[in-house]
Structure 1
């Protein structure tokens, strides 16, 4: 908000500095204008629910099938996660959806803490991605723990417990090449 005018920020881009990307239909403040920012709570909450849902999905697929994450993406309420799953077992989609919703119904607490790098990396399976994405210069690692299901290094925002996620629907399973499967999810109220 600036001089009574609102400009919505729809994204950000990192370069030498952080660049905010305004909605193309919104006016821009003149250079040097003081602005006040606010988080759009509905969007942020939806992203938190979706991100926590992805962690439940990751925890279930790792626990039940031993697969690591090879990629992913999310928008409010919808997301995808790619796994190094060579074959899709019969009933996989239904089994994963049921297991995820059982974990959500268990109302598991989601804790966040920061640990020194050496202590964090001493936790078994703390990296659930096929490639470690934590840069070597990071000395303090943020840990997200869905207590009893999934503990991993992560920098995103989360809800406080799995019940706050809502229902998780496995919308589609896609073959993304030899040994890689994409799981698309939706979060429903």
Structure 2
């Protein structure tokens, strides 16, 4: 089992770890700050360096049988200590993007009482689908003003890990149309944009909304009678 260092410190750029298993695709570490992907957020990129100075590029993470595999092309290192380093510039942009998605979700839940029906993100851009019947340009402009106002509020973002039963007692913790938290998960991590949005979430986030930058809703479309999609860009 790999200890997930990013769960308690999204700003950790480098770490040391021990290779506990080498498999066909790559290596399994005893601990890692690489986000493996999930919840619409892509995995981290970066590198692993052995004590003899050999560097292995990591551009994918695979999840197999409960293992997190740092994918390596070509020859793989065997059991030893390594130094890991994530592509921080890319990670930080994804942190800003993921937090922006929570700001959008929080505003629409608060002001329009609409649940999320789907979503995905890439670096500095993301889309979310909501259970909404109608959406016009005027409404989109109104939402854009509101989400940027939340950035200016400089709201702190607090990460906590709760026992499952305790977490599920929190009102409106699950903002998706269906509960996506697997039943075998015994602890639930929450992301709290204080005063706006509290959700179960496993991804990486910035510490304050002021870090996000400005947000622009670049596209909206209907995906069905009560399903509307918003696409958002994160700008410096």
For the aligned residue pairs, the C-alpha RMSD in angstroms reads 1.8
What secondary structure sits across from 1:37 in the alignment? strand
Displacement of 1:5 in angstroms is 4.7
Q: Please state how far the C-alpha of 1:30 moved relative to its aligned partner.
A: 4.0
Q: Decide whether aligned partners of structure 1 residues 31 and 40 sit closer, same or farther in structure 2, where only a CA change above 3 A counts.
A: closer
134-143 or 60-69: bigger deviation? 134-143
Q: Measure the CA separation in 2 of the matches of 1:167 and 1:6.
A: 36
Deviation string 1:40-83 (CA, Å, 9 cap, x unpaired) is: 11111111000000000000111111111111111111111111
Counterpart in 1 of 2:60?
11
Partner of 1:99: 146
How far the C-alpha of 1:32 sits from its partner, in A, is 2.4
Matched, 1:158 2:205: yes
Alpha-carbon distance in structure 2 between the residues aligned to 1:180 and 1:169: 20
Show structure 1 runs of 5+ residues with no match. none
What SS does the corresponding residue of 1:42 show, helix, strand or coil? helix
- Map 1:18-37 to 2 at 5 A: 18-22=68-72, 28-30=74-76, 32=78, 34=80, 35-37=82-84
**Equivalents in 1 of 2:137, 2:96: separation in Å?**
28
1-side partners of 2:110 and 2:216: how far apart?
A: 19
Task: Tell me what 2:121 maps to.
Answer: 74
Residue segments in structure 2 that go unaligned for 5+ positions in a row: 1-48
State the match for 1:131 in structure 2: 178
Cα shift readout 1:93-114 (whole Å, capped 9, x = no counterpart)? 1111100000010000101111
The offset of 1:176, in angstroms, is: 1.5
SS for the counterpart of 2:86 is coil
In the alignment, which residue of structure 1 is the partner of 2:164? 117
Q: 1:114 to 1:177 in 2, by over 3 A?
A: same
Deviates more, 1:105-114 or 1:171-180: 171-180
Deviation at 1:28, TM superposition (A): 2.9
Give secondary structure in 2 for the equivalent of 1:64.
helix
- Asked if 2 retains the 8 angstrom alpha-carbon contact of 1:7 and 1:28, the reply is no
**Residue of structure 2 in register with 1:172 after alignment:** 219
Larger relative contact order (CA 8 Å, sep ≥ 6): 1
TM-score (normalised: structure 1)? 0.90
Query: In structure 2, what is the equivalent of residue 144 of structure 1?
Result: 191
CA–CA distance in 2 between the matches of 1:167 and 1:101? 6
